Structure 1
Amino acid sequence: MQNLLIIDADQNSLRVLQQLEQLEHVRIIGIVDTNANDSVSKFARQKGIPHGPDPESFLSGNVQLVLDFSGNFPFTYNPKYPQITVLSKSSSQLIVKLLACQGTELELLQSDILIYKSIFNSVGEGMIGIDGMGTINLFNDSASKMLGFSFDEVLGKPILSVIPESGLPDVLKKGQIDSNVELQLTNGLDILSSRYPLVMPDGTITGAFAVFKDITGVIRTAEEITDLKRVKTMLEAIIHSSDDAISVVDSEGLGILVNPAYTRLTGLTDKEVIGQPATVDISSGESIHMRVLETKRPVRGVNMQLGENNRDVIVNVAPIIVDQEVKGSVGVIHDITEMRSLMKQLDHAKAMIRELESTYTFDDILGNNEDLLIAVSQAKIAAGSEIPVMLRGEPGSGKELFAHAIHTGSKRKESEFIRVSCSSLDVDAIEAAIKHTEIQHEKRSGTLFLDEITELKPDVQKKLLEYIGSGSITAAGKPIQLSVRIITSSAANLERAVHEGVLCEELYYQLTRMSIRIPPLRMRTDDIGILTDALLAMLNQEFGMAIQQVTPEAMLRLQSYEWPGNVRELENVLSRAMILTESGSAKLNEEDIVRALSSRSVQQPDSALPDKRTLASLMEDHEKLLLETSLRENNGQKVLTADRLGISLRSLYYKLEKYKLI
């Protein structure tokens, strides 16, 4: 440390000299003011520097250098103070001038340093540098944020103690640039780093520095883009492989995607649809795509005509919402013509299955209705007896199911159960049926179920009465003793049939010795939930589907319907609803039930086609007839009619105006 004593310098010179204190090894320990200059005294007091008029008071072992601005200092060298070097007035003034120049340059340099430091700390990339010994001497704010260390924490520390995986020591050693190196830091941050040796003009390597940036977000974005492309490809593959026709439009209602099933259904190729308005494929009615884009709500179950062939379809359309904004809509289109064909095949298959099945028990009779429970109780009593049983109830109410249950609950369960429709019986057929139920003499005979007894021809009624009375029938001129259990059923009014001579009175009394009345479904609506669950389980197995439930709204719709076809109609409606529902759905909605109830009443015309009529005109006539019928059944109420037909109120009014029905 060099201790400095100043003699008689003015205030400006002192201000310059004070720059000496910024040097690491220089300190001003006193100011001699022989002229009692107030400004010098004030300056000394402000800076906390000892001052006074007597130089001798400051000369001690602590002074090494004296700057004499007075020119009157008594010695330049004094053996008494050998450690002191005295500079003359001219030398002292020269130092002041040199310091003044240096100060100006220093200020400019400091200004440049501040600018460079600001730039250095403003860039988004992290910067870190080391000296020739591998210790950190450069560290900007971005590096601090990424690494989690402050400048003071890392300055002067070995680079490997802060970043163990750093490659700067290798760059310092080899003197070669290392560009675009991916690296994961210990804090999990992914960076891309370039490292450079610090080469002086003479070729000497004095250090190395690295510039690096956080690429974690870039990697994540790249992964997201890759995932999005993969998902897009997968979705397009799913859409194109779907058997349902699918069309997608953008937020302006212009087509952006259709699948091959759409082309097969409408006859329109993707070139004819993509970029065109959503109405391009509509033969009649409004665009459901545009309605969905306006309302931002899905629309389901709309009957429309699409394509060049005016195909009857049911359309479901839903909005595509991204970040709370509607970006477009997607429509799934079902061909009704194909569905009707499937429904016919289904009904035929179910009829065949019923003919083959014959193992129903009382456990298969489901419901908690009081009248039903009474009927079941009576049937169980009948199973333990041998007398004829008459099952009375509306078509589809379950008379055949009761007959099966009585048979399997009786001693004859190991024998055959034969169902015969009375409308097809003649005398030879009744004899053959009764004989067929006699399996072997050693075994008990089976059960003969005669369905709709009032349709039995008079001569067959006589033959049946003969068997019931004697236990035998006469065939080929000789009596044959048999033991066959007779169960009959009827949906007609038996008493009226007797009164009108349709049914033999004596046969009536024989067959109704035990009469069981089965309540219609409309009288036990509380059982619809139990029946629906059981039917869904059965239909899921038949169709290979997985419908688990019916929504509360759909159940209310089922319970409010009159069910003229009873349980059989309920089964048909549920099967139709399962076919009409969206693929992969696990529940039936109210719209599915409405469409199923609507489609059940569509009949094919029995008459031959009239001459010179086009298909379009025939379909229009049929549509007009259906509208008239539905309006009449709903007492002219438009809302109920639209709901019954499964179309929107707006579409209903359009069709009513088209056919001049309003």
Structure 2
Amino acid sequence: MSEKLLETIVNALIEAVIVIDDSEKIILINNEACNILNLKKDEALGKPVVGTIPNTRLHIVLKTGKPEYNRIQKLGDKTIVTSRIPLKDEEGNVYAVMAVFRDITSIKRLAEEVTNLREIEALLSAVIDSTHDAISVADEEGKIVLVNRAYTRITGMSAKYVIGKLATVDIAEGSSLHLEVARRKEPILNARLKVGPAKKDVAVNVTPLFVNNEFKGSVAVIHDLSEIEKLARELEQTRRLLRYVKAKYTFDDIAGNSQKMRVAIEQAKRVAKTPMTVLLRGPSGTGKELFAHAIHNASDRADKNFISVNCAALPESILESELFGYADGAFTGAKKGGKRGLLEEANRGTLFLDEIGKMSISVQSKFLRFLQDKEIIPVGGTKPQKLDVRIIAATNLNLEQLVAEGKFLADLYYRLNVVPIVIPPLKDHIEDLPEIARVILIRLNQEYGRLVEDIDDEALELLMNYPWPGNVRELENVLGRSMINMEPDERVIRKDHLPKLELENHHREATQIGKLSNLLADYEKKIIEDTLKATEGNKTAAAKVLGISIRSLYYKLERYGIDTAKNFEP
């Protein structure tokens, strides 16, 4: 083979080639090697390899006689992969070394990009899988190519089952929105469908996907309507527990002209004009919240917020964060940016704390500091904030006994009990019942759309002889049930409209001698036991019959020492 032909062949190779002889001098270098190394042939041929070729190892292979294959090497801003092969004679002596290498800089960059794309794909997949709403992605033909875990949870169908199939595979009732979007090339929002074997109700938003103005498929976000409805119910329940309201009632709405009621009303009117803390005391159902509204409306804060919260209705952790608010990142699930507490919302207005006797000790301690310093620190926060809030508290419990038992802080009791107002039970001012009943009728007429005008004497006599353990709240319940028993054209409540009140039993209880609070407690305990017996021990059903929450029922079971393991047989 002629030297010219050999040179032509070597220069035609896409790999770079360098050969050195046994004196370590370059005897061959092709065009590709010159391009990669930025050398001219006449600058390399005949020159020692060391000093001419950067980072070379050809001289080392010449000495060792050991080949090196597929070695990665840096040459400035380039990366090469090289193999160094010793050339031996028949006796095994190395007389030359050849290097064959290729510039892989662009290939390496592409590999890194592919690796990054894979990482991004894995990250995107993890994000999609962590999304609570179900997601499905279809190609331009309407075949499913991707679904997340929430999709399987809502539809019951696994990714393995649906991927590659037409998007009709998960539709129980309705038509495939992926196919419709593929046809129309427009988004479809808030469509209602039933999906999966269980025919679950869902709301679906489907959006077309375009790449370089070319339709490539569609993505659907599927919302489980049952979960949305559950959240809506929970939100409504929370709104009932935490009521941001404008005080509706005034002292004109408080009926009663007996001595005890006049004392309570006069005390409330006098304290309303001051910023002093008020403690409303009295049994359940006597109208403590009505008094709180009236006090706020008679104060110089009447045009500011009146916020009401039931301390017994919220767990300790929630009550604390609701009262004092929380800082950004205070706990897992906390709203970004933090949240204002009820005390801050009530600044320059009034905060009404109902059933404060059931506030936990830890929250009592923090609330006491607010009453002392008139400043709060949100949960997870560090910066105190000065507030001007008028506090009205209410309880039906014996706070003095709770203090003695260590269940209520003595210092908080003294801070709250500055102006105690005792609202008497209905039985202690029964002479006010006719007036109270007629005020209630006006309100019930509005609620029920009725035109009941009065209560006849016989029915009124029965109501006057009843001890009313549930007080005004129970009277309102009885009158409401009576109105339901009336014909639409009837205008006066008669005896036969009244629900059964078991007057003989109540009269016997009422004529016993003893402390009224103890007699009422014994009566309430008996009612609870009788109700549990009627419901065969079903506490949920018993709470519903009694018209109280299951939480309140458990509290009363504990208070009265009613054995929850007792077999209540009908």
Q: Which range, TM-score by smaller chain? A: 0.3 to 0.5
Q: Tell me the TM-score normalised to structure 2 length.
A: 0.44
Q: Tell me the TM-score normalised to structure 1 length.
A: 0.39
